[in-house]
Amino acid sequence: MTDLFNHPGAIGSLRPHHFGISVPDLDAAVAWYARMLGFELEEQLFIAKIPARIAFLKRGDFRVEIFEVEGAAALPEDRRVPNLDLKTHGNKHMCFEVPDVPAAVAALRAAGADIAFELTVDGNPTAFVRDCAGNLIEFLQPFESRPARPARPA
């Protein structure tokens, strides 16, 4: 397996740093990501040129950058539904690998998370939840733990 972080591509090493989202209430989003997913506030700032309040939340080596821009348009309803969201170009969702999707969903549901759907495709459990602003987040199990797919005929 190729090490994606040190692959000798045109730009050199590559490692995920953060995923950015926009929300109507920064404080509510910071609290939601801390309570539901265990992120911690790393930095909060204001950028006058946008203007926007911004928070970087961190868990391990990954960050979520959250923007609150006064007067921003609300997230359209179809962007809150995984399969409908695919019909609009642009970023779709962030995805986290968890050891056990059904257990993660049960814990999130018990904590009050908005579960968009749970689905098992070819024995692979996956789930989507919505954050407090309706942004989609996917959960999947490690590829190594998934059942082997039969080879496709040539």
User: Does residue 82 sit in the same domain as residue 50?
Assistant: no
142: CATH: 3.10.180.10
**pLDDT string in tens for the chain (154-residue length):** 455 556 566 777 778 889 999 999 999 999 999 999 999 999 999 999 999 999 999 999 999 999 999 999 999 999 999 999 999 999 999 999 999 999 999 999 999 999 999 998 788 899 999 999 999 999 999 876 555 556 666 5
Looking at the structure, tell me whether residues 69 and 130 fall in a common domain. no
Q: Are residues 67 and 85 in the same domain?
A: no
Same domain, 102 and 29: no
Domain containing residue 11: 1-73
Domain co-membership, 81 together with 149: yes
3-class DSSP state of 103: helix
* Environment class of 69 (CB within 10 Å of its CB; exposed 0-12, middle 13-18, buried 19+): middle
Residues 72, 113, 146, 87: is their CA dihedral positive or negative? Answer: negative
Claim to verify: residue 65 and residue 115 sit in the same structural domain: no
Q: Going by C-beta distance under 8 Å and a sequence separation of 6 or more, which residues neighbour residue 17?
A: 62, 63
| pLDDT given for residue 1 in this prediction | 46
Pair (92, 66) in one structural domain: no
CA distance 90 to 123: 28
